Structure 1
Amino acid sequence: MKPGLFLMLLLVSAATMAEDLKSGASLDRCLDKATTTLAMNQCYAAATQAWDQTMNTQYTQLMTRLSGEEKTTLRRAQRAWLNYRDRWLEASRRQLKNQGTLGSVALSAQEMHLVRNQALMLQSLGKGSCANPDDC
């Protein structure tokens, strides 16, 4: 597949996934159709991109509402999380490198889950609560 076409499909898939991210239905449908590890990785990449967009939206909304020390603290926390995410994926990549092609799928899934969880945590901050699972 040509890189430009893959990128376009990835963006369309991410936009479609954004509609039903929380249920995981888009990812499940994509994985159900995937017959290769490359296709599985593409499913996770699209989901990761959609969650990343959600995370960035949640972060931006919070940053516009906060001021002073709260804003500084959130910025520091998000930067620390980005560093954590990168170090975690680096460690996982080293651990999974000898597990063949399924190791790459596991790494793709880990990345998506890391981003999804952070997006949900930022969303819960915006709502002021995470007591109800539907809020997170």
Structure 2
Amino acid sequence: MKTAVVLTLLFSSATAVARSLPADAALDHCLNDATTTLAINQCYATANQAWDQEMNWQYEKQMKTLTGEAKSKLRNAQRAWLSYRDSWLAASRSQLATQGTLGSVALSVQGLSLVRNQALMLQSLGKGSCANPDDC
């Protein structure tokens, strides 16, 4: 029961934040058709790949506009974030391993959420603010 509640919260938070983005719309469509845990994980893997490409594009876009210390700080921050992401997912994987197939779905949702959020954070650097999600 506890796992079902956590997964419901994860699913709703991952898809409710910005449905207007193409990767999120594709994820919603994919999840509507998914009937197995494997299919659900594949949906999240595809969305994760799309958001990873967006994150990399946003990072490169920012790096082209920055110079000197600001560029160095962003590079260091992104490297630190990559290390954080990997550490977080490793810690989650070890804890969720005991939760069977639902644990794998929760891990997929977490991975997507981390990458998606970082892509939006990088995007916000160019816009100056993400106080309003419509601005990002």
Shorter-chain TM-score above 0.5: yes
| Alpha-carbon distance in 2 for matches of 1:58, 1:103 | 30
| Alpha-carbon distance in 2 for matches of 1:130, 1:38 | 34
Aligned CA RMSD, in angstroms, stands at: 1.0
Look up the match of 2:79. 79
Query: Greater RCO between the two (CA within 8 Å, min separation 6)?
Result: 2
Look up the match of 1:9. none
CA-to-aligned-CA distance 1:10-34 (integer Å, 9 cap, x gap):
xxxxxxxxx613xx22111101111
Identity %: 72
Look up the match of 1:68. 68
Structure 1 residue runs of 5 or longer lacking an equivalent are 1-18
Look up the match of 2:90. 90
Runs of 4+ residues over 3 Å off in structure 1: none
Look up the match of 1:39. 39
CA-to-aligned-CA distance 1:62-114 (integer Å, 9 cap, x gap):
00000000000000000000000000000000010010011101101100000
**What's the TM-score, normalizing by structure 2?**
0.83
Question: Does 1:59 pair with 2:59?
Answer: yes
**What's the TM-score, normalizing by structure 1?**
0.83
* Mapping for residues 1-136 of structure 1, pairs under 5 Å: 20-21=22-23, 24-136=24-136
Cα drift, residue 54 of structure 1 = 0.3
Q: What is the aligned residue count?
A: 116
Structure 2 residue runs of 5 or longer lacking an equivalent are 1-20
Question: Which one-letter code corresponds to 2:22 in the other structure?
Answer: D
Look up the match of 2:15. none
Question: Which one-letter code corresponds to 2:111 in the other structure?
Answer: E
| Alpha-carbon distance in 1 for matches of 2:113, 2:131 | 20
Cα drift, residue 132 of structure 1 = 2.0
| Alpha-carbon distance in 2 for matches of 1:47, 1:122 | 18
